[in-house]
Structure 1
């Protein structure tokens, strides 16, 4: 007899930006059908003073990255202006293991990661390893909240280095998958994707027939504010852990 896998015939919708195929591969291994349909994308913001900003990085004690998108945009500028990452002799703080991997992949060292991969935990734990007078440069997206800037006593400058844009062509695919299939799980990695989903899909068809998965308590809280019940949220805020937790959830059904 063929063994029934925990995600057998389950359509698993990925609404966020995928940086690797690991979570998709895991979905397949557990019998699921991955639907990769990101509702958002990011693109580097290019400004005339980018080179000057790069050179000024050395004047800071800390560089802060909260997403892989910010690291990729920073790396693109390093390459454009032929700046060797080894010349960046500054401490680096990140939110999340994947962001840390992105930093290390471009040849830089990570000096601080919070115990929970969230900006609100970052601002509580960062003061334990950084003195109040140490100056920080925070690399962020255009939709990033002020949690870090307002939550730290350190002098902080912001560099809005990328922007988040809506991917309209994937909205109809997500709607069609949900409306035409009974077994659907949907994964949200950020409030940005949730807001687009709710505006174009969720407000019309609701969330009751979905297994709703979230990365992080901020994402969960955003979903709940729109009336969704979050069934799956891992303790470790990564996409692969979402799949592990989803497998456990489906195994109990």
Structure 2
């Protein structure tokens, strides 16, 4: 293994929602073999009162987004109901640089982003910029925890804009790879990806035949709750940073 190719012959399996192209290219540049095999996908939840909710959302002081999936679902609702971004005169809070970037691409400005990209840090730092009486609309997925709703003193309404589903074809693809005897690392991006992997592969195969990588302490702690140790976790919670951390660990 050379210093320029610390991931030589390492098959790096990305199990999160398929937004891993940049991390895949980085993996290849470091000598590894990227495997894009998301275990989960997100699907917008469409409801008959979506337009009314959009039109009434200006009553809130803040919009809160914690994932790119929530941004994408929100955008689909805007397009379907023929509204413009300029209609929404609110402040924007985003958890994570990718979430913030997705919002900025739509034309929003980011008014707050926590120093660490996780909901538990968000609820500690948000009071620094938002008065307790300022109301919030939290755009969430169907599997989102109550961390933000229960953790903020602000009045928070939830809008479940997308759902998470398991991709069975990729489950079989990853199972074959892990049983092939090749050097493998599996990247978990959220408790949802951990659960999908654990139920379909992990609880039968175990976790000793590959390197376990986690993005974020929430994901790492969820793995720990299942008795699984994450060998690699980056300080900055992004896919590219987990590749750099894995390369350092392997090197």
TM interval, shorter chain, is over 0.9
Rounded Cα–Cα distance in structure 2 between residues aligned with 1:183 and 1:221? 25
- How far apart are residue 182 of structure 1 and its match? 3.3
- How far apart are residue 20 of structure 1 and its match? 4.8
When normalised by structure 1's length, the TM-score is 0.96
Rounded Cα–Cα distance in structure 2 between residues aligned with 1:24 and 1:159? 32
Q: Within 5 Å, which residues of 2 pair with 1:79-158? A: 79-158=79-158
Rounded Cα–Cα distance in structure 2 between residues aligned with 1:56 and 1:82? 15
- How far apart are residue 29 of structure 1 and its match? 0.3
Query: SS at 1:181's partner residue?
Result: coil
Structure 1, residues 69-109: CA drift from partner, whole Å, max 9, x if none? Answer: 00000001111111110221100001100000000010111
Rounded Cα–Cα distance in structure 2 between residues aligned with 1:19 and 1:184? 20
Residue equivalent to 1:243: 243
Q: Within 5 Å, which residues of 2 pair with 1:190-201? A: 190-201=190-201
Give the number of equivalent residue pairs. 250
Question: After alignment, is 24-33 or 3-12 more displaced?
Answer: 3-12
Query: SS at 2:179's partner residue?
Result: helix
Q: Within 5 Å, which residues of 2 pair with 1:1-253? A: 5-251=5-251
Which consecutive residues of structure 1, in runs of 5 or more, have no partner in the other structure? none
Which consecutive residues of structure 2, in runs of 5 or more, have no partner in the other structure? none
CA-based RMSD of the aligned residues comes to 1.1
When normalised by structure 2's length, the TM-score is 0.97
Equivalent pair of 1:208/1:228 in contact (CA under 8 Å): no
Rounded Cα–Cα distance in structure 1 between residues aligned with 2:174 and 2:225? 21
Rounded Cα–Cα distance in structure 2 between residues aligned with 1:183 and 1:33? 10
